[in-house]
Amino acid sequence: MLLMSARLDALVAQAGWGSRRTVGKLIRSAAVTVDGVICRDRARQVMETSAIAVHGRALATIPRVVLVHKSAGYSCSRDRREAPLVFDLLPEIWRSMEPAGRLDRFTTGLLIFSRDGSLLHRLIHPKRHLPKRYRVGYDGRMADDAIQRCAEGFLLEGDERPTLPAQLSLDGPGQATLILHEGRFHQVKRMCAALGAQVTSLHRDRIGALDLPGDLPIGACRPASDADIEALLTIPEEDS
């Protein structure tokens, strides 16, 4: 995996030691060490694997990527008026990270947070068509040609172009799985409504080739492993 680097003052500030200005003073006063050596250069590029300490205390680090099992009722906004927010599910030191896409307030499942702008871009860029799998609970009756219409793509009300081909499977009464390769506003709900069904529950359990980890409880988060990140960026063969 390509290792990341960042400015020393940015890393120390993100760890809660104050503003960039305050942190700059700390660094100039010889309070900060990198791999055991005092560093007075606030602009030094530091590798993510470096050991940083302030006044001898190891710096709490921010992972490159974090996996979150989103609970229902949490907004992906940063507006406190919309609380509770998904950022509340993260330790305070991680809350500067940005989500790779959103889930609406009542949708549960896998969310990705990262401090790596290039990786976020790869995850959300529409030209990559990274698949996302949703488990859908619904009321009503899906149209007889629902599977075919999803596979071919169809025009949603208010949109100027048809949906990309998607994979719909009907798993039982009121239960379906939908794999999308794009992320339009409330797309699953709008597609199901156009096909004759009203979504009653929605859960995302896969992004790329990464399944929501079975050991990640709802409302919990954890750093992603290298294998997790590789899977995130992989388009499964059956979806390619």
Catalytic residues: 104
205 Cβ partners below 8 Å, 6+ apart?
A: 109, 110, 133, 134, 135, 211, 212
Write down the H helix ranges in the chain. Answer: 8-12, 20-28, 117-124, 146-152, 187-194, 226-232
As a whole number of angstroms, the distance between CA 40 and CA 138 comes to: 59
Sign, CA torsion 73/76/81/87: positive
Go through the chain and tell me how many residues it has.
240
Identity of the residue numbered 53: A
